[in-house]
């Protein structure tokens, strides 16, 4: 059986301007370079999973315009299955104007366009590698309407598929069902603060935040901490995981978090297959691992370490999906699943 990941999310064409510094309100600033790239959190995460050689399906919408057709061509080039990518007539593909300063920091504006036309009837989980079972891991974010996002999560729960909720971009007033349907929730620091009200400026605060998140439903929390790496929490157990690899030079941090989520989902799918018993559904495998004092913790830490490596490699090049590493560029042994 082949590891498989399904991503529900947004397609946004990135319109990237490189600037010496961020402009202030009312200022016209000359940039140093401009480039376009394929983006959207969901599309980015799917691209990273596919570039690591995992069977990947994307569920989303593009406009019937030049950007939309370019997106479909790029999905096919990267190796993403497009059966569930709808083309919406008379609506633009989503766009994301991005400013990147000389230190690699970015500011982003998103115009959703066709992404808002994904409906509750849109999501359907594809078969996995053996063409009989559903995908092993489903990943969702918050760049498309909540109705189809929740529909996908409900469907995944009904079929025993592992769910990863990346609550980005952060927003208030989310329904309790969102986290209740998450097996793993993976916010960054600002998202964690918004979801929990807890500060994230110390290990004690991070522990408190993960406990607050787990009380809302997900049995596992993976916090992304930028240059500080990530943190894993299951039950009362908590550990910060450093990046473990220093980028040669930070060129562009755009999409690094998506690289982490996409590669984490990919590595998790591999570890789920490696530890599954015959006929066991993916979610049952994950829950069994989470209750294990050694195997589950060890496998999740391996997934985080590998995702940290991918994300750290992505910031060394300009762009988003084009900066993501392929499997042959990764250190040997990153996909090793034997304990």
**Catalytic site positions:** 258
Cβ burial of 37 (10 Å; 0-12, 13-18, 19+) is buried
Give the pair of three-digit tokens for residue 164: 């990863």
32 a known binding residue?
Answer: no
47 a known binding residue?
Answer: no
CA distance 41 to 179: 18
132 a known binding residue?
Answer: no
CA distance 141 to 146: 9
228 a known binding residue?
Answer: yes
227 a known binding residue?
Answer: yes
Output the CA–CA distances (angstroms, integers) from residue 170 to 174, 194, 199, 325, in the order listed.
Answer: 9, 7, 15, 26
12 a known binding residue?
Answer: yes
Closest C-alpha among 162, 183, 154, 165 to residue 280:
162
Give the pair of three-digit tokens for residue 68: 């939309």
The rounded Cα 183 to chain-centroid distance in angstroms is 14
133 a known binding residue?
Answer: no
121 a known binding residue?
Answer: no
CB 192 within 8 A of CB 219: no
Dihedral, CA atoms, 154, 155, 157, 160, nearest 10 degrees?
180
**Helices within the chain (DSSP H only):** 41-51, 66-78, 146-158, 176-180, 189-196, 203-214, 256-275, 282-290, 295-314
188 a known binding residue?
Answer: yes
252 a known binding residue?
Answer: yes
314 a known binding residue?
Answer: yes
173 a known binding residue?
Answer: no
323 a known binding residue?
Answer: yes
1 a known binding residue?
Answer: no
254 a known binding residue?
Answer: yes
224 a known binding residue?
Answer: yes
* DSSP bridge partners of 62: 87
192 a known binding residue?
Answer: no
CA distance 31 to 164: 37
Cβ burial of 28 (10 Å; 0-12, 13-18, 19+) is exposed
Binding-site entries for ATP: 188, 224-229, 257-258, 308
Annotation: binding site: 12-14, 40-44, 143, 188, 224-229, 252, 254, 257-258, 308, 314, 317, 319, 323
Which residue numbers belong to the known binding site for substrate?
Answer: 12-14, 40-44, 143, 258
Binding positions for K(+) are 252, 254, 314, 317, 319, 323
């Amino acid at each position: 059986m082949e590891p498989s990941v399904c991503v529900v999310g947004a397609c946004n064409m990135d319109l990237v301007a490189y600037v010496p510094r961020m402009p202030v309100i009312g200022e016209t600033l000359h940039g140093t370079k401009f480039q376009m790239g394929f983006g959207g959190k969901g599309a980015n995460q799917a691209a990273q999973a596919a570039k690591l050689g995992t069977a990947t399906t994307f569920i989303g919408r593009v406009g019937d315009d030049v950007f939309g057709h370019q997106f479909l061509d790029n999905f096919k080039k990267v190796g993403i299955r497009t059966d569930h990518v709808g083309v919406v007539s008379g609506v633009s593909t989503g766009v994301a104007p991005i400013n990147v300063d000389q230190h690699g920091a970015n500011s982003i504006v998103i115009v959703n366009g066709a992404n808002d036309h994904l409906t509750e009837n849109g999501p359907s989980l594809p078969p996995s590698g053996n063409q009989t079972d559903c995908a092993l891991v489903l990943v969702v974010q918050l760049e498309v309407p909540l109705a189809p996002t929740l529909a996908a999560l409900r469907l995944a729960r009904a079929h025993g598929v592992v769910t990863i909720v990346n609550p980005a971009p952060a927003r208030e007033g989310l329904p309790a069902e969102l986290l209740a349907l998450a097996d793993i929730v993976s916010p960054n620091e600002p998202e964690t603060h918004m979801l929990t009200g807890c500060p994230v400026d110390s290990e004690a605060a991070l522990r408190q935040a993960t406990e607050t998140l787990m009380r809302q439903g997900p049995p596992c929390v993976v916090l992304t901490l930028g240059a500080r790496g990530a943190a894993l929490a299951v039950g009362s157990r908590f550990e910060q995981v450093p990046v473990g690899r220093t980028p040669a030079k930070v060129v562009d941090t755009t999409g690094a978090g998506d690289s982490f989520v996409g590669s984490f989902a990919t590595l998790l799918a591999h570890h789920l297959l490696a530890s599954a018993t015959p006929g066991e559904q993916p979610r049952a495998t994950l829950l069994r691992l989470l209750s294990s004092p050694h195997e589950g913790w060890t496998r999740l830490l391996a997934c985080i370490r590998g995702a940290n490596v991918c994300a750290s490699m992505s910031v060394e090049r300009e762009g988003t999906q084009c900066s993501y590493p392929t499997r042959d560029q990764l250190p040997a042994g990153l996909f090793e699943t034997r304990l």
